[in-house]
């Protein structure tokens, strides 16, 4: 125990995370891909939408590092745009689903009784809705839209978080410090904000790192089916789908986006695994 400065549980978690190479590699890879995704399209002379009829399906060269697609568009730029979209969808949809899930689950667990039953049965009902067919029907009805992808993904992924947070809240409620806080005469809002949420945060962060890749895969899946983002905009899913058409003749169109997709997913997995160990307050130093 360091005598000089007093470490918060968060600082200690960060110290523990720093000692886990796989988690750091995951974190580093994600930051690198994120930076590249932002910078490369800004510096590149090409843009993601304009076809170049003189450079169709070129293999990787000095001018087009990752080659070009069937419309002569630079794959590197399109790939980086794909990473942007996929990461954005992944992070934003996860954030939304975490917010809804935590509020929903914490309320159910904290209040309990009839409220709990009502909220959790709602979750059960939503769970039973077959979402892929629903999304397909919605796309047919309203056309392809970015927003729809968000809504569809958000609607599915908060359910798990709500369940986990509810379970965690129930077990926290029986801990003595929660009872001690009640014995101090604190109101419900203060109890939830000061005593419940900070103790839920660890598990929520861990679960969020698992949700992000799940969402990215789900988006890629929707895009692969042609239900995702609009052309000419690309996500990793649409790039893989496009690449699949030219698998025999131009395999790099499939492999390069697939490698990036895998890298992102694996990195989130490594990071989440490390976070799970690092954020466990019972973990020895």
Residues that bind another protein (CB under 8 A): 1, 6-9, 175-177, 179-187, 190, 194-195, 198-199, 201, 281
Shortest distance, position 167 Cβ to another protein, whole Å: 18
Helices (H), 112-143: 113-128, 131-142
Q: List all residues 6 or more positions away from 205 whose beta carbon is below 8 Å from its beta carbon.
A: 275, 279
Please state, in angstroms and rounded to a whole number, the distance separating the CA atoms of residues 209 and 39.
24
Please state, in angstroms and rounded to a whole number, the distance separating the CA atoms of residues 204 and 265.
18
**CB 169 within 8 Å of CB 109:** yes
Shortest distance, position 165 Cβ to another protein, whole Å: 16
Choose between 130 and 281: whose C-beta lies nearer to another protein. 281
Cα of first residue to Cα of last residue in the chain, in angstroms, is 9
Structure tokens at 191: 């109890």
Choose between 97 and 169: whose C-beta lies nearer to another protein. 169
Shortest distance, position 180 Cβ to another protein, whole Å: 5
Q: What is the DSSP letter of 193?
A: I
Q: List all residues 6 or more positions away from 176 whose beta carbon is below 8 Å from its beta carbon.
A: none
Shortest distance, position 122 Cβ to another protein, whole Å: 24
Shortest distance, position 272 Cβ to another protein, whole Å: 20
Choose between 5 and 248: whose C-beta lies nearer to another protein. 5
Choose between 194 and 245: whose C-beta lies nearer to another protein. 194
Tell me the longest C-alpha to C-alpha distance in the chain.
76
Shortest distance, position 178 Cβ to another protein, whole Å: 8
Choose between 80 and 275: whose C-beta lies nearer to another protein. 275
**CB 140 within 8 Å of CB 132:** no
Choose between 9 and 21: whose C-beta lies nearer to another protein. 9
């Amino acid at each position: 125990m360091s005598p000089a400065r007093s470490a918060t549980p968060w600082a200690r978690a960060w110290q523990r995370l720093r000692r886990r190479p796989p988690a750091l590699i995951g974190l580093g890879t994600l930051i690198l891909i994120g930076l590249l995704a932002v910078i490369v399209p800004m510096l590149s002379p090409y843009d993601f939408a304009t076809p170049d009829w003189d450079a169709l399906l070129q293999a990787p060269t000095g001018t087009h590092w990752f080659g070009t697609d069937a419309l002569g568009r630079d794959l590197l730029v399109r790939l980086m745009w794909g990473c942007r979209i996929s990461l954005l969808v992944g992070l934003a949809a996860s954030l939304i689903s975490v917010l809804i899930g935590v509020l929903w689950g914490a309320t159910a667990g904290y209040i309990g009784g009839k409220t709990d039953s009502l909220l959790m049965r709602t979750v059960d009902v939503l769970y039973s809705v077959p979402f892929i067919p629903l999304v397909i029907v919605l796309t047919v009805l309203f056309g392809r839209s970015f927003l729809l992808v968000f809504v569809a993904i958000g609607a599915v992924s908060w359910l798990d978080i709500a369940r986990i947070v509810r379970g965690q809240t129930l077990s926290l409620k029986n801990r003595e410090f929660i009872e001690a806080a009640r014995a101090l005469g604190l109101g419900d809002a203060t109890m939830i904000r000061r005593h419940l949420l900070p103790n839920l945060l660890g598990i929520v962060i861990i679960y969020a790192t698992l949700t992000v890749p799940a969402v990215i895969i789900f988006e890629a899946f929707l895009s692969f089916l042609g239900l995702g983002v609009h052309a000419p905009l690309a996500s990793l899913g649409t790039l893989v789908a496009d690449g699949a058409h030219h698998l025999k003749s131009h395999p790099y169109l499939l492999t390069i986006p697939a490698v990036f997709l895998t890298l992102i997913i694996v990195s989130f997995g490594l990071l989440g695994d490390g976070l799970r160990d690092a954020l466990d307050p019972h973990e020895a130093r």
